[in-house]
A and B are shown apart, each in its own frame.
Chain A
Amino acid sequence: MIRSTCVVGAGAIGSLYAAHLARVGESLVLTRRPQHAAALNAEGLRVSGRHDFEARVTAAADPSDLREPDVVIIATKATGLEPAAAALAGRWPGAMVVTVQNGLGAEEIVRRHGAWQLVSGVTFMSGTKHSDTHVEYILDTPTWLGPWSGTPFERVQEIAALLVESGLQAEALPDLRPAQWSKLIFNASVNTVAALTGLPHDGHFAAEGRDADLGRLVRGLMDEGKRVAAAAGVELHDDPWEMNVLATKRGSAHYPSMLEDVQARRPTEIDLITGALVREAELHGVDAPLHTALYGLVKAREKSYSP
């Protein structure tokens, strides 16, 4: 029985989890900034868009100000994962910890800081944060959860059921890797190209008619990613190219966070996304020249922030 949850990192995704979970139990929020926690405690959390409601949450910037929850969902960006996990070290030994970061390897990073039961997650939902206490729910696509390193599947199903009860889309899968890798290949191909070109995820990414059309590169990246997945013994849940085409047909073009990161000259999630794919390629002896090239380019772009 899950009575309380704590969402770590109240960006758009974290805010969506926290607000919805407040409808089915005690919803705690661990923020990075004390002012953010204070605003959430004072004003609650407003959801607009696909759902419309106000939620009461209990927030803090210091985990010692929060009671131990049954489930922790770490919803920081990949770049904020390490400090978030470090802040939980030595605490809340009975909690299950869910990671929903993009890419691969979030579970290992969390594991280095504690022996919690871990649940792997990928989420396709999206939102826009309008303020510290207001998030717009944009895409009600699901969160998929799977056991990691021996966590019983029943526990994963409980968390998925709780998310569904809270009004979000969620599903428990006995093996998350097929879904995780589908999204990994999608992100490694789309987010990097968006970051380097400045283009949001629009029709350019599916155009293949002429020589220099970007869709040809995106397809090449995805084919390379699929070869790495095959070598790693992962059968993909969805075809990344179909995900790509479908996403570009939505009304408004999505700005991948990696594009927003380079525009704001922030570190990107490249290491857990393309970096992870390139490491897997090396591990399994597969050539991945295109992903290797884009990894180098985005890392170099980060370097260009400082003279």
Chain B
Amino acid sequence: MRVCIVGCGAVGSLFAANLAQLGDVEVWAYDLAREHVDAINLDGLRLSGAGDVVGRVRATSDAAELPTCDFGIVATKAMHTESAIRETAHAFTAGSVATVQNGIGNEEAIAQHVDRVIRGTTFPAGKVLAPGHVQWDVKGDTTLGPFEPKPAPHEEVERLADACTRAGLPTQAVPDARGPQWRKVIFNAATNPIGALTGLTHGRVCEDPALRRLVTGLVDEGKAVVAAQGIELDADPEELIDHAAKPELAYDHKASMLQDVEARRQTEIDYLNGGIVRFGAEHGVPTPLNAAIWALVRGLEESWTL
């Protein structure tokens, strides 16, 4: 089976390098960072940290080079989904495409160009250390399920999940993957921008009573949007937030959005709080706090252009 990772940043690299360990999987990677692509083609794709592997991956920045693939795994930042899938869609005319991205709205963007789409949520995380070399920070589970309006067949979802699991990335194929996805979106939307706006780590956000109440306000709006869609969360984001604040876990973790803001990189706010606001509007659920946070982070991004 042939898999193409679309967007081979930190998370994409975790999938690419691990899947490349399997004898029955040929892995391609599409990424616009030339140095990264060249390094992968020269020396392989190396992971270190939570696992140490080197994967033989065919990388390219030229979508025309991609062969026909059985699966795509989109792992770009959410704001690049549309352009990335538009460029690569020709490789998936006979295949299924999964997303393991943050936020809401990626499946919809992919489905504009591809017929069989897999909804996905993943928790492993890392960061790019150097071209061709990614640090694997945390292991975690991945959940895959059909994207309801343009679903991939269940056997295909299971086939991809099985390959990921065998590659060392525990993955479940489920009939409805919306619960895990919204759980992660609500978690991220309620905590990442608070870190980004205040400069505080996850633990310090949680131990500030006023901020913790704001986090709960954001979570409650997200839960109402989920309930209006008839989706059942697989876990309570509140518990996950407090769990992550423990000193031995992510107390000192700077949210990726705070890292983005410190580096003045565009954030994924449109697909987190922005996604909650959009789905809230569609289902008649007011989301004033998420709208406020969305506007503040967008304003922050605007301030870099002055």
Contacts and interface: CB of A to CB of B under 8 A. Distances in A.
**A and B interact physically:** yes
B288 A289 contact: yes
A267 interface: no
A11 to B, nearest CB: 25
A111 interface: no
A255 B301 CA distance: 17
B211 interface: yes
Contact of B299 (A214, A293, A297, A299): A214
Interface in B190-243: 194, 197-200, 204-205, 208, 210-211, 213-214, 217
A293 B214 contact: yes
Contacts of A198: 299-300, 303-304
Contact of A199 (B198, B208, B292, B306): B306
B92 interface: no
Given A196-B296, A197-B296, A212-B294, A300 B274 contact: no
B142 to A, nearest CB: 30
Interface string A196-214: 1111100010000001111
Nearest to A210: B298
A contact residues, range: 20 to 34
Contacts of B213: 292, 296
**Max chain A C-beta neighbours (<10 A), residue from B204, B205, B299:** B299
Contact of B210 (A216, A299, A304): A299
Contacts of A289: 217, 288-289
B295 A216 contact: yes
B302 interface: yes
A301 B198 CA distance: 4
A296 B208 contact: yes
**Max chain B C-beta neighbours (<10 A), residue from A196, A289, A297:** A297
A198 B305 CA distance: 11
Contacts of A293: 214, 217, 289, 292-293
A258 to B, nearest CB: 14
Interface in A178-221: 193, 196-200, 204, 211-214, 216-217, 220
Contact of A214 (B200, B208, B295): B295
B250 interface: no
Given A296-B208, A296-B214, A304 B300 contact: no
A196 B300 contact: yes
Interface residues of B, number: 33
Interface in B269-306: 269-270, 274, 277-278, 288-289, 291-296, 298-300, 302-304, 306
A295 interface: yes
B198 A212 contact: no
Contact of A297 (B194, B294, B303): B194
B261 to A, nearest CB: 10
A276 interface: no
A89 interface: no
Contact of A301 (B197, B274, B291): B197
**Max chain B C-beta neighbours (<10 A), residue from A212, A290, A296, A300:** A212
A216 B291 contact: yes
A303 interface: yes
Interface in A63-122: none
Given A193-B299, A289-B288, A211 B277 contact: yes
A220 B288 contact: yes
Given A296-B208, A296-B210, A217 B292 contact: yes
Contact of B199 (A200, A213, A214, A304): A304
Interface in A215-268: 216-217, 220
Contact of B198 (A211, A290, A297): A297
B33 to A, nearest CB: 28
Contacts of B199: 301, 304
A217 B205 CA distance: 22
B208 A304 contact: no
Contacts of B303: 197-199
A259 B294 CA distance: 19
Contacts of A304: 198-200, 204
**Max chain A C-beta neighbours (<10 A), residue from B210, B214, B292, B294:** B292
A299 B303 CA distance: 21
A91 B261 CA distance: 50
Contacts of A204: 299, 302
A292 B216 CA distance: 13
B249 to A, nearest CB: 19
A127 to B, nearest CB: 23
A290 B208 contact: no
B57 to A, nearest CB: 37
Interface of A: 193, 196-200, 204, 211-214, 216-217, 220, 289-290, 292-297, 299-301, 303-304
Interface of B: 194, 197-200, 204-205, 208, 210-211, 213-214, 217, 269-270, 274, 277-278, 288-289, 291-296, 298-300, 302-304, 306
> What 8 A-B pairs come out closest when comparing CB atoms?
A197-B299, A296-B210, A198-B303, A304-B199, A300-B198, A217-B295, A212-B298, A199-B303
15 contacts: A193-B296, A198-B300, A199-B303, A212-B274, A214-B299, A217-B296, A292-B214, A293-B214, A293-B293, A300-B205, A300-B208, A301-B198, A303-B204, A304-B199, A304-B204
Given A193-B299, A289-B289, 15 more contacts: A193-B296, A196-B299, A198-B300, A198-B303, A199-B302, A211-B278, A212-B295, A292-B213, A293-B292, A293-B293, A296-B211, A297-B198, A299-B210, A301-B198, A304-B204
